[in-house]
Amino acid sequence: MTEGTGTPLLPPTRAEYCVIACAEAWRDAGEILASPMGVIPSLGARLARLTFAPDLLLTDGEAMLVRPDGTVEGWLPYRQHLALVTGGRRHVMMGASQIDRFGNQNISCIGDWERPKRQLLGVRGAPVNTLNNPTSYWIPRHSRRVFVEKVDMVCGVGHDHAGGARYHRIPRVVSDLGVFDFATPDRTMRLASLHPGVTLEQVGEATAFALTVPDAVPPTREPTAEELRLIREVLDPQSTRAGEVGT
Amino acid sequence: MTAQEVVSRLHSGMTLGIGGWGSRRKPMALVRALLRSDVTDVTIVSYGGPDVGMLAAAGRVRKLVTAFVTLDSIPLEPHYRAARERGAFALMEIDEAMFMWGLHAAANRLPFLPVRAGIGSDVMRVNPGLRTVTSPYDDGETFVAMPALRLDAALVHVNRADRQGNGQYLGPDPYFDDLFCAAADTAYVSCERIVDTAELTKEAAPQSLLIKRHTVTGVVEAPNGAHFTSCAPDYGRDEAFQKTYATTPWPQFAARFLGGDEQAYRSAVREGS
C-alpha cells in the first residue's frame, strides 16, 4: 500500500481497524446526527463524514453543530438534543459497562440496584435512545466482565425486552476484537467480522455467553490509503486513538 | 438577597430542584450555603454533578431523582458513588428525557406527560410506581406516563440577572434552568453579576434572557458562584480544584473548604491551588 508520493504506509493498527468499524455504522446515513461516545467512535464519525457519509451532522461535544473543520453550522443544546432523539434523526454509539447476548446494555451500576457493589453513571439517555433512534455500542476492552450472560441493570433495551417497539434498532456492536450484529433468528448476538490479527478463540474466551459464529467469518475491512491518511494526518495526528485501544 | 437568606427560607424535608448539568453551571454558592445550614432530609431533583455528590456525602439527602451523576471530565462522582454504595438515600433513577418531560409536566400543571422512554428497561423495575398510558388514537401505542416533577424550590445559577429576577445565560447551553424555575413553587437565581435591566440586552441577544421574573422569588449576586463547575463564558471548570475535590476524603474536604463563609471558601481555594 503506497501513497501518491510513493512513501510506504505503516500497516493499519488495531485502533485504526476499530475506527473503520465504527465509521461503517454511519455509512450512507444521510442527514442525521452522529452521536459518538468515546475517542474511536468520534474519529469514526468524523471519518464517515469526510468520506462516505457527507451529509452527517456532528457536534463539538457541547451545544454546537460543527463541520469537520470546526466551523459552527448549528446550535443543539441538551433540550434540543433530547427532542432530536425522539424525532429519530440520529444514530448514537454508546459505551457499555455490560452488554448481553440480546443487546441489553448497562451503564448504571454493578450488582444489586438497591445497594450496588459499584455505582456507575446512571441510566443516562440509554432508555430513550434505544426506543427512538438506532443505537450502536463501542467496547474498547472486550472481556467477560463486559460481554455478560445477563446485565445487572437494563439501561439500553435489548431485543428480548423491546417487545417490537417501533423504532428499536441495534445496528452493531464494535469491540477491540471485532464487529457484532443481531442478524440471527432469535435476535441474539452474532460475530459479523473479526479485526485482522484476532482469532475466534480470543473472542470466545473474552465472551461470557454463547455467541453465534457463522461458518465463514469475514475480516473487518481494510482501510483505504486515503482513510489512513485522514485518520493519521487530519483527524488524529496526536494518536489519541492508541490510548483507547492498544496494539 | 444573600445565599444565607435563600437557605433560611428552605426547610428540611423539601423537594429541591438544582439547575445546570453534570459539572456545568451548578449553583454551587447556594449549595455551599445549604451545606452550612441545618436543612436536611431533602429530595434532590438534578441532572447530577458535585451538587449531588456534596449533599449526599454530607448526609442531607433523603431521596434523589436523577438520570446520572458525573463530574464530566471525571466520569464517576466519587462522593456520590460512596454514598450510594452505602445505601445512604433512596433513588428514583430515570432517563434523561423522562426527567425533562417530568419538569415540563410540572411547569404546565399537568399530572404527567407521555414519553417514549423507559418501557423495556429496568427503569420500570426500579420505579414500581411508574404507570403507563395507552394512546387513545388508532396507533394504540403504550407510553410511560412520566409524573410531574413538582419542586418546592429551584436553585439555579446564571451569568447575569437584574434585581427583579430576569436571568440571562451567556454560554452555549441554557440547560434546563428556566424549566426548573417554572416547575417550582419558589425559585432562587444566583448570578455572576447583578446588572441594571437595560444592561442585559445592551450587547447580548434577547434570546439570552432565559429566566423570567414571574418565576423567580429571589436573586443573589454570587461571583464565582458556580465554582468549581463551569460557567461559560465567564470561566471554565476549575479542573485542578475538581480533582482535589474528587480525591480528598469528604470529612477532610468539608473541614478544609466548607467550614467558613463564601469568602473563607474563596481564600481556601486560593491557598489550595
- Kindly state whether residue A186 falls inside one of the protein's structural domains: yes
Backbone angles phi, psi at B21, to 5 degrees: -160, 120
Asked if A103 has any chain B CB less than 8 Å from its own CB, the reply is no
- Mutation pick from A128, A157, A187 vs chain B, by most beta carbons of B within 10 Å, is A128
CB A29 within 8 A of CB A56: yes
Asked if B174 has any chain A CB less than 8 Å from its own CB, the reply is yes
Number of domains making up chain A: 1
Asked if B119 has any chain A CB less than 8 Å from its own CB, the reply is yes
The answer for A 48-87 residues in CB contact with B (under 8 A) is 62-64, 75, 77-79, 82, 85-86
Cβ pair A119:B80 closer than 8 A: yes
Residue B124's closest chain A neighbor by CA? A154
CB A95 within 8 A of CB A107: yes
Residue B67's closest chain A neighbor by CA? A124
Which residue range forms the structural domain that includes residue A44?
A: 14-223
- Kindly state whether residue A75 falls inside one of the protein's structural domains: yes
Residue B100's closest chain A neighbor by CA? A79
pLDDT at A5 over 80: no
Q: How far apart are CA A23 and CA A228, in angstroms?
A: 13
- Kindly state whether residue A161 falls inside one of the protein's structural domains: yes
- Mutation pick from A94, A114, A123, A150 vs chain B, by most beta carbons of B within 10 Å, is A123
- Kindly state whether residue A246 falls inside one of the protein's structural domains: no
pLDDT at A2 over 50: no
- Kindly state whether residue A232 falls inside one of the protein's structural domains: no
pLDDT tens digit sequence for A120-152: 999 999 999 999 999 999 999 999 999 999 999
- Kindly state whether residue A6 falls inside one of the protein's structural domains: no
CB B12 within 8 A of CB B40: yes
Asked if A37 has any chain B CB less than 8 Å from its own CB, the reply is no
CB A223 within 8 A of CB A17: yes
Asked if B87 has any chain A CB less than 8 Å from its own CB, the reply is yes
Residue B79's closest chain A neighbor by CA? A119
ipTM value > 0.90: yes
- Kindly state whether residue A197 falls inside one of the protein's structural domains: yes
Given the C-alpha cell 446526527, which residue does it identify? Answer: A33
Please report, for the domain that includes residue A151, its CATH number. Answer: 3.40.1080.10
- Kindly state whether residue A238 falls inside one of the protein's structural domains: no
- CA angle, A132 then A137 then A140, to 5°: 160
Domains and CATH numbers, chain B: 3-94+149-238 (3.40.1080.10), 111-147 (no CATH)
How many angstroms separate the CA of residue A167 from the nearest CA in chain B? 10
Q: pTM for the complete prediction? A: 0.96
- pLDDT tens track, chain B, 273 positions: 999 999 999 999 999 999 999 999 999 999 999 999 999 999 999 999 999 999 999 999 999 999 999 999 999 999 999 999 999 999 999 999 999 999 999 999 999 999 999 999 999 999 999 999 999 999 999 999 999 999 999 999 999 999 999 999 999 999 999 999 999 999 999 999 999 999 999 999 999 999 999 999 999 999 999 999 999 999 999 999 999 999 999 999 999 999 999 999 999 999 876
Asked if B80 has any chain A CB less than 8 Å from its own CB, the reply is yes
